[in-house]
Structure formats: C-alpha cells, structure tokens
Chain A
C-alpha cells in the first residue's frame, strides 16, 4: 500500500481523497482516462451484451426482421429448458463432471509432472516439450487426433485391443473418452504453469527446510506448496474457466449431442447456424452466466480476503 503517512489504519476513503488532491491536473486526467477507457470496454463488450442476452432470453426471435419481430413470452424459455428440453440436465451434470475431473485428473497429474521435471532429471527438456506439445494444438484439432484413436471400426484402440467399444458413440463412455482427450492437453498446460512456479520458489527456503531435517515430501507440502499460493490461485481459476467454457472438443466430436451435452454446446446449437432460436439460446447462456457467477464470486471472495490480510 502506498500512503506512507498511514501509521495506523486510516479509513480507505480519506486516504484516497488526500492522494487525489495531491495529483496535478495532468496526472488526474491520465488516471481518469486509465479508469474510464477500460470501464468503457468492459461495459460495452461485457455488460451490454450480457444484459441484452438477459433481455432476449424472455423473448422468441429467429433473428429475421427487426427487433419488433420479437415476441415476448416471459419466462417460457426457462420453463421449457428446465421441463421439456432433454439435453439440459445432462449438460449441467456433464459440466460439473468436467470440472471435478479436471481438478482430480490433469491438474494433480500436471503438478506431479512439474515436481518431477523440476528435479533436473536427464532428458527433462525432452519430456517437458513432449508434455507441453498438445497445449499448442487447438481443441478442435485435439478432437480430430483422438478420433483416430477412438473410431469404432477403424480406430487405433479397438484395432490394437481387438475391442468393439464405441468410444465416441456410446453415451455412457464418450464423455470419459473426451475427458481423456482434454486431459491430454490440459496436463501439459498445468505442468508448465507449476514448473514456472517451482522455478520461482526461493531455493534458500528448501535449503532451510533441509537443514531443519524436513523430508522431501514435507518440504513440498509444508514449504513449497504454500509459497506457490498465487500459482495455485491461477491454476484454480484456469481450471474453473476451462471447464465452464468447455465446448470445442464436444462440438468437433458430435456437436454436443448424445452423451456429450455441455451448456456451451447447447447455446451454440440453438444460436449459431440455421437454428436461430435466439431467445431460447440466450436463456441457456444466462443460465451459464449464473453458474459462472457463483464461481467468480467464490474466487473474488478468496482474493479479497487475501488482500485484506
């Protein structure tokens, strides 16, 4: 915190005010611009569309003709989604599975790989590159690559194991098949972030821990891991965001139907392309936004708590 004069804790408002008064007009203009321009962008690019989506979600419109063509139907879209739209509940469930899986699978695995690779083993660079490689591929491409493994009749897995599993088609296994493909990419991503974090940990901390007779495991869990708290927050946020916006992979596989329903894919099915159910799709998008908001709220709470400390 700036305010060097603050001996005790002054109320935040007065500190800000006194600082403001001291700023010369030119700096003030700069500050105002620096606040106003991003605010404008956020309002125009985030809030206005979000609010418009909310408004649209109470109407039925196929996008043809002017806005006066919208029929306002109240909460019917929401009622339909919850009551008669079969893909909705599976989609919610799949998004949550996605979230849990990303945490328990690739995130922990990525962390483990990072710890191992951080020990400067022989060929470490090679492994690092190999694990990171999938991250540079778009998820659409990942879906296609895995199709070569998963295809029921011509895929590698069934050929090698002489099995007949319909990896992408059987609605009880395809979600897991897709999750493995996601994990393939996500692990490398998390690994790299942790690797960077581990490199940033002051080596004197480890030495001190070693001096105190801590075992390697203790050093990691009691010393290194807590120090990496900012990295953990970043990874947490990335995982949550990745699983809420999960879309590309299932879209490539089968456009988010038959066991691969995700909210994002349902929004696209209804809005993108010829279907043009703008009201219905917007209602789905609003639901997605509400779910995201819950996670964002939790995140912000943690961050603010941190700052107050």
Chain B
C-alpha cells in the first residue's frame, strides 16, 4: 500500500491536492482499463516472437498514465525515441502510478509487458529472487553509469536485474530568503542544529515542517536518523530483517526522534506533506526534510529553495549516507519478447535516452552521468552533486524492506509513536513481534 510514495514528485502540483481522493475513485476503472488494454494488445500486436527475435514489437509498461504531466511525457518520449532509432514498434501500456504499483504482483504473474518501470534495491531483489524479472547483466556495464548505480541494480545473486533511469535525494529543504533574513546558516552537526532550531523558535518559526497523514513521509525521518545514529550498514541490515527492532540501537533512534519532536510541527498525523510544504512556503516553518518533490507542492518557491543534507549526529558515523530512491526499468520473465526487451533496456540506460526523455519538459536527474545537464534547475544540479558525493545511498524505507512489513507494520507503528512518543518500548516491542512473524 505504500503507494503514495516519493513517486508523487512527478505529478503536477495542481493535481496534487486532489490526487489522493480522485485517484482512489478512478483506480478501479483505470485498473480494469489497463488490464483489458494489455490483453488486447497481446492479441492484436502479434509481437509474441518467443524471445528469439529482437525486431518484434516491444511492450512497455509505464507507471504513469497520460495526463500525469512531465513524468508521463518523459517516459513516452524515451519510448518514442527508441522506436524511432531502432525501428522497433513499442507498444505502450500506460497505467496510473499508484495503480501500477499496487498491482505489481498480479501484473508480473499475468501478462506483463516486456519492459516495465520499477525501483532499484530490495524491491527489485525480491522479484529477482522469485524469478519474476530477467537477468540483464549482459546489458551492463552501461557507459556513464556509476558503480553505485550498478550496486543498486544488483540482486543478491550478484547479477544485475535493473537499468537505472533517474533518482532524487531526500534532504532538508529551506527557503533562502528566510535564512538570509534571519541570518541562519545550515547546520553541520547536532549542536549547530539545536542552536539553529532554538534561534528559529525565538523568531516564532517552527523549525521543522512535518507531516505523516499518508504514513510514508515520516519514514524518511526514521531512515536518516537511523543512518546518522547507527550507520548505513546497520540501517540496511535492519531493513533486511537481520537486526532486532527492539534493540538498544533502534530505541535510541526513536528516543532521539522523540527529543527532536518539539522542534517539529505539532500534530503531523492529520497533515499531508503538501500542507507541510505550504507551511514552509508561508514562512511558518523553517525547514522540511523531504525528497526534492517538495517543489511540486510549492512551485512558485522553486528559485528560493535550497537544501542541505541532514547534519551528522555522531562524529564517528558522519553524514555520508542519505536516501536517494532510484527509478528505472526491469525486464519481466513472463514477457514474450525477451531479446527485444533487452535491446530496449540497453537503450534506456544510455545518456541519449535520458536526453530524449528530458527534451522539452521539466527534466529528471539522469542516472547516466553523460546525460546533458544544461536543462537542470539549480536544485537538480545540487542534488546531483550531493548524491554523487554521498558514500552510501539508501532507497527509502518502503523500498529497502519487505512491502508487507513496511505497509502493515511500520506505518501504523510510526504513527503510534508520533501519537504518543513516550511509549518507545511498547512500539519497538510490537514491531519486533510482528517482524518475527513476517520475516520467516
């Protein structure tokens, strides 16, 4: 269910306010449409070339539907560019973002498209282990793709199953004008952060905007605190289910979080991230820890926005890790045109494909370092630098661990903690009990 995730970045701001409810209303219809659509394609296009012939039509499953704004345009343009270049017909299957994600299990076991949009890391690994996506290690190495991306595309068997397209970091955003006006400086460690928050409170500004009505945004705070307090390796093995959730380490994360809650906006559980972003835009809040998609909620402030990575909390651990979810493409095992799909994947990883996607729209931050960056906004250029400089990159809590665990255990537990921050022992114990039941 972890659907309304950072992928929201690609939805135009005008739609965002209404997105949640409208999407739910439309979901049923869209899903039916999508399923019907894909099976008719199958019957009609005759591209079932049994995997040997790379020249047959390739079916391309997109997690964006027409009308979703730049996110859709970019995928569509990449597909068109490939069709034009290779002469291969590309059949697009356009599905609403959340619908696509919610139905991914059924989709991959039914009549999936050959190439489809997906996420790097644990969620890709799950499908690789279950034999739902194809090994594409012969597409690698990709010219211009850094090693960190290759790692993110590698499953537990050491082979690659993924081709990265773009990424975006989670960081602490603020308005330059506000920081200038009051003479604030981005903090680099806990002491500086506390001084800054005290100063802000003195100026009648709530230091951190904060929202968790949808359940997922606060995961970003947990991630960064855990990575700062216990380090990247502990974080990743906690996500993988190899650590105890009621351990002293995890409790320390929640304790630190509880101590920081007074400098966060009160009552986060009734607020959407768009509303939290708006409070920062209005100057009621000084900073907001979120993905770069924060811009979508407050587009008018884009030129005034800047960010810094979350400061270090423990000098022996530093501040070298961050969440930067990577989106990209996989090849489904059940896809009929394996060879053709692989050819298309090879193209989608190139700088040329990234440039084709970014042509004429708000660009994404291309995973391929050879891609043209001239169209990038200042925020994007900085994002690329920050992620490039990071030593370790996590994908975000609900992409780094089991989907069922993140949705049915972590979301309610974090919300319970935010509702009553005093019962850390109870919350961590409950998470651990459920974790033991889910990670068998």
Q: Are B267 and A166 in contact (CB under 8 A)?
A: yes
B265 to chain A: closest residue by CB: A153
Q: Are B1 and A275 in contact (CB under 8 A)?
A: yes
Q: Once the chains are docked, how many angstroms separate the CA of A76 from the CA of B438? A: 11
Q: Does B434 contact A (CB under 8 A)?
A: yes
Q: Once the chains are docked, how many angstroms separate the CA of A171 from the CA of B417? A: 12
Q: Once the chains are docked, how many angstroms separate the CA of A117 from the CA of B119? A: 58
Q: Once the chains are docked, how many angstroms separate the CA of A166 from the CA of B269? A: 8
A64 to chain B: closest residue by CB: B130
Which of chain B's residues 201-220 have a Cβ closer than 8 Å to chain A? Answer: 213-215
B24 to chain A: closest residue by CB: A140
Chain B interfacial residues counted at CB < 8 A: 45
Q: Are B412 and A87 in contact (CB under 8 A)?
A: yes
Contact with B along A233-260 (1 / 0, CB 8 A): 0000000000000000001101101110
Chain A interfacial residues counted at CB < 8 A: 48
Q: Does A270 contact B (CB under 8 A)?
A: yes
Q: Are B24 and A257 in contact (CB under 8 A)?
A: no
Q: Does B172 contact A (CB under 8 A)?
A: no
B412 to chain A: closest residue by CB: A257
Chain B nearest CB, measured from A79 CB (Å): 9
Inter-chain contacts of B302 with A (CB < 8 A): none
Q: B-contacting residues of A (Cβ < 8 Å)?
A: 60, 62-65, 71, 76, 80, 84-87, 138, 140-141, 143-144, 147, 150-154, 164, 166-171, 174, 251-252, 254-255, 257-259, 268-270, 272-277, 280
Inter-chain contacts of A144 with B (CB < 8 A): 18, 20-22
Q: Does B151 contact A (CB under 8 A)?
A: no
Q: Does B403 contact A (CB under 8 A)?
A: yes
Q: Once the chains are docked, how many angstroms separate the CA of A251 from the CA of B106? A: 22
Inter-chain contacts of B415 with A (CB < 8 A): 257-258
Q: Are B278 and A169 in contact (CB under 8 A)?
A: no
A76, A169, A174, A273: the one within 8 Å of B271 (CB): A169
Q: Once the chains are docked, how many angstroms separate the CA of A27 from the CA of B340? A: 61
Contact with A along B1-17 (1 / 0, CB 8 A): 11100000000000000
Q: Using known A-B contacts A84-B430, A85-B434, determine if residue A167 contacts B404 with beta carbons closer than 8 Å.
A: no
Q: Using known A-B contacts A63-B105, A64-B109, A252-B20, determine if residue A152 contacts B404 with beta carbons closer than 8 Å.
A: no
Q: Once the chains are docked, how many angstroms separate the CA of A269 from the CA of B132? A: 23
Q: Once the chains are docked, how many angstroms separate the CA of A252 from the CA of B21? A: 6
Q: Can you list 16 A-B pairs with a CB-CB distance of less than 8 A?
A: A63-B106, A76-B437, A143-B21, A147-B21, A154-B275, A174-B270, A252-B21, A258-B415, A258-B416, A270-B404, A270-B408, A273-B2, A273-B101, A274-B102, A274-B105, A277-B438
